[in-house]
Amino acid sequence: MSGAQVAMTAILYPVAVNAEQALTRPLGQAAREREALALAGEAVVFATDPTGPAFATREAAVEAYGGLLDEPWRRLAEQILPGQKPVRIEPAFEDGRRWPAPPATPQRTAWRLMVSYWRIATAERPIEAPQARKARRAGTPLDPETLRAIARQPLRPVEPQQPLDIGLFEVRPPDAPHIVMPDE
């Protein structure tokens, strides 16, 4: 390698059924989906899940996990504790401020260890979550885990994108749609 080129290293993520197994006894580590698929022998999906106990402060979590946080696929995240209703704040647009003052009693939060890994598909946690538009049209209430799965999945088109048949600065006149004219 020349002095101008720098070797890039890929992050090796564990391959496991759940976050706990990813920390303690993964099947192996893989940087790409095809490598994870070869290790698992079945379908995998990239996931980030919380694991372990919740801590009141970040400092307490760092003290408890210590060296575990050295890997880039393990990190701490602050989460709102379950059972609390989210506070909806409307924009104020008053006195030169867009948002009102925060509520006097903030929601209770806790720090959790988040593990990113290649999750193996199981009967309890299948790979595919329903698309948001289909779930919304169904009208059935969704549990929080399904909502998180929907939010994590990539956007998929309703139908395949059609190829462009005209350029950016071209137009079809309404009286002759078979003609493409420059629009300048």
Average pLDDT over residues 136-160: 71
pLDDT at 5: 61
Global pTM reads 0.58
Cα separation values, 108 from 23, 56, 60, 87, Å: 27, 9, 16, 12
- Say if residue 127's pLDDT is above 60: no
As given in the structure block, the two tokens for residue 21 are 């197994």
- Say if residue 13's pLDDT is above 90: yes
| Residue that is written with structure tokens 């647009």 in the block | 93
What is the biggest distance separating any 2 CA atoms in the chain, rounded to whole angstroms? 73
Q: Which residue has the higher pLDDT, 140 or 153?
A: 140
CA–CA separation, 65 and 115 (whole Å): 12
Average pLDDT over residues 52-69: 90
Cβ(130)–Cβ(156) below 8 Å? no
DSSP of 37-88: HHHHSS-EEEEEEEEEEEESSHHHHHHHHGGGGGSTTEEEEEEEPTTPPPPP
The backbone region for 28, taken as left when phi is positive above 0, alpha when psi lies in -120 to 50, beta otherwise, is left
